[in-house]
Amino acid sequence: MFSLFCSCSTKRLAPVAVEAGCDAVVVQSKSYNARHNSKSLEGLIFSKLVDSLDVPIIVGKQLNYNVTRELMEQGVDGILVGVGPGSGFTSREVLGVGVPQVSATLECLSARDDYFKLTGRYVSIITDGGIRTGGELCKSFVAGADA
């Protein structure tokens, strides 16, 4: 069983979900990086979350090398890749920005491969945005995504 949280509820509810038998925690947000810390109160710090829970922590939605690498250095076990390419998202239309899914996947894979060479710790890359056809799925696996 997985528990999916947005950033605002993770700190409070993830321990409850794990106690109830959750096998992994997935934190979804478009604005995560390891440096997103408030000066006035302690927000969600992934290294502390990882240390406090005995289940894999998966974080999404990532697009680039630097943020992916920072999250790996915080100890997360998996990275979800992609923001806005899917038919259910309006980010590209509303904001006018986006990164093609296979490009984002390659960025995150590059971070993972460099991190693995440095530490020997393998972090799963899960490309989950904008995959609507078999061809798009094949591109993700050919690029090197784990799922």
CATH of the domain at 41: 3.20.20.70
Q: Find all residues with CB under 8 Å of 16, minimum gap 6, and list them.
A: none
When divided into structural domains, the chain yields a total of 1
Residue in this structure with the two tokens 């984002």, named with its chain if needed: 104
Residue in this structure with the two tokens 């696996």, named with its chain if needed: 141
**pLDDT computed for residue 20 by the predictor:** 92
**pLDDT computed for residue 30 by the predictor:** 61
What is residue 41's DSSP assignment?
S
Identify the CA nearest to 11 among candidates 51, 69, 60, 64. Answer: 51
Please, which residues bridge with residue 27 across strands? Answer: 5, 59
Task: Write the single-letter amino acid at 47.
Answer: S
Please report, in tens digits, the pLDDT of each residue of the chain (147 residues total).
666 666 677 888 889 999 999 999 998 866 555 555 556 567 788 899 999 999 999 998 888 899 999 999 999 999 999 875 555 556 666 666 677 788 889 999 999 999 999 999 999 999 987 777 888 888 889 999 999
Both tokens assigned to 99: 């990164």
* Structural domain harbouring 35: 2-143
Please, which residues bridge with residue 127 across strands? Answer: 81
pTM: 0.84
Tell me if 36 sits within 8 A of 43, measured CB to CB: yes
Q: Is 109 helix (H, G, I), strand (E, B) or coil?
A: helix
